[in-house]
Structure formats: structure tokens, C-alpha cells
Structure 1
């Protein structure tokens, strides 16, 4: 393990409407906006200025950026673009990052909050399996109002690992 690497600090999510996304993450998961790097009324950041840094196409623009705090896990950075290159969120078979997982203590309660906030719940909850299997270990996928896939997971029972030398999975500590 590289001691210079601490772990994932944030996950970036492009959304069609910043206010809708902030409201959803707050209502569903208790996320709070830490700061807004760019607010819609401030004017857009053109791709020709930041494209060499973050691969934004030169003909596109960033309309808004918010950084959200979510429990004791990674932060979530939301982006609203002037011209998103896709009109649908990625699905599990797409190349690249397709979802992120939120560790929860009460799967049904958080799934209910997410549904009330506008999420579409997939079939579930489902028992986890293989190395993640164990009594009470379950997950439940949902789609945000704009279609991004989020996994809710709870793992109260110990998991098995491929060998005794395998690193242990890191779970967010309780608040």
C-alpha cells in the first residue's frame, strides 16, 4: 500500500440542474453544500480556458459547481454543464465510473427517503454475495431523478477476503 495515497476525496457528478441535484442529495442523504465554486448567476467558465486542465471540450461551458459533504465518506462535486455530451446518465455496462455507493446503517429508511426525494428504486434490497456475503449484508440500487445510479449498502457482518494478506475493506466510521 502506498502511504502517500489516502483514498478517494471526492466523486464528480454531472447533473442537468444544480438546484434539483443539491435538493435531492440533501433530502435523500442529508448532504450539505460546503461551498459553491461557481454559481449559475456568476457566468459560465468556458472550455477553452479549463479544457487543458480537466478535458472540458473547448465549445462547452461549466454553468455551476458545488461541493457537497455526505457523512464520513468521499465528498460529491456536482457540475452543471451548458451542453452535456449525453442526455442520459451512464448505466452499469458503460465504460468508466457508472455509480458510487453510500454506506448506510438503515437501508430501508434511507431508500424510503431517497424515494420521497424523487429517486427510482431498483429491485431490492438484495443480499450481498461472495466475499461481501454475511448476515444482514445487503445493498439496494437507485436512480436519481436525472438517472445517475447510486448504490446503498450496509455490511454489518464481517466479510471474507481472498487471503490473510489481503487489505481489509475500509468502511466509513459512524458519525
Structure 2
């Protein structure tokens, strides 16, 4: 068995259309298909609750799959129900952010901000084993509150001198 890479990332968002608009505008994402259209009857009931591990009364309202120009798909979910917590912060347990590689960090940051994201701090140099003259990253908050990292490391990284193993690079 060999894992080949990330197929898609699932994101629960408060509004499917707003999230779609952001991903299309910021990254050039393309809509592939809707698994569940908003006009259809929401998915609900004991089977959904058990399969997804969600509280009783949760309803799946819409599901959409998008593709990024180079990378995994992004599957958007819109739910309603008795429990919806705000997005996690980097200090919380669990999956805390998605990092997207870009060749042009400043342009990608500008695209995200103009599409509705909030830049948390200006781009910073990558530290320690990842450092390099042009290796940088930036954290942003998406319109629905999740953390997004944009990263670029065109220069060799110090860790590469100590091992033959390499990070996967798009």
C-alpha cells in the first residue's frame, strides 16, 4: 500500500456560494460538480449522524467539489444543526490549517486579500530547517474564519543537507 498524496481537503463553511467565490477568485479554483445542491432536500437522520459522527438533528445542506489549478480538490460542505463551533485556532487540537504552495507569494497574498481574506501578518521568512533567501510564508484568515497558509520555498533548504528525504513539492 502506498499513499500517493492528498486527494482533496474537506471544508465546512457557513455559506457555500461565498466560499466558492473566494476560492475561485483567490486561487482560480474551478467548480467540478455539486454532490448535493442547495435546492435538494437536505441529508439528515440517524444514518448521516452515525456515518459522519455529528449530533442528532444535523443536516447536510449542500456539498460542492472544486479543483485547484495544481493540487488536491477542495470539497465544500454546508451544514445546519444543533452544534456549529467556530473554526479552530492554531493552538487548538486537530487539523488547524491548510497550506498552499505558490511561486509568487506576494501576488497570492494580494489575491486572497482582494477575495475577502484577512492577512494576519506580512509574509515572514521560513525558519530553521526551511530557511532560504526567498523562502517565505504568510497566514491568512478566510472569509469563513479558517486559517490558510501560503508558502513558497524556491531556494534550497538546510534540512536537505542532512537527509536524502524531501518534502513533496507541487
Alignment gaps of 5+ in structure 2: none
Q: TM-score, normalised by structure 1?
A: 0.90
Alignment partner, residue 66 of structure 1: 64
CA distance in structure 2 between the partners assigned to 1:58 and 1:8 by the alignment: 30
Alignment partner, residue 32 of structure 1: 30
The structure 1 segments of at least 4 consecutive aligned residues displaced by more than 3 Å after TM superposition are none
Q: Output aligned runs, 1:79-94, within 5 Å.
A: 79-83=77-81, 85-94=83-92
8 A contact 1:47–1:57 mirrored in 2: no
Alignment gaps of 5+ in structure 1: none
8 A contact 1:47–1:56 mirrored in 2: no
Query: What is the aligned residue count?
Result: 169
8 A contact 1:48–1:57 mirrored in 2: no
SS of 1:50's equivalent in the other structure is helix
CA distance in structure 2 between the partners assigned to 1:60 and 1:91 by the alignment: 23
Q: Output aligned runs, 1:115-130, within 5 Å.
A: 115-130=113-128
Shift of 1:58: 2.9
Alignment pair present for 1:164 and 2:163: yes
SS of 2:21's equivalent in the other structure is helix
8 A contact 2:55–2:82 mirrored in 1: no
Shift of 1:138: 0.2
SS of 2:149's equivalent in the other structure is strand
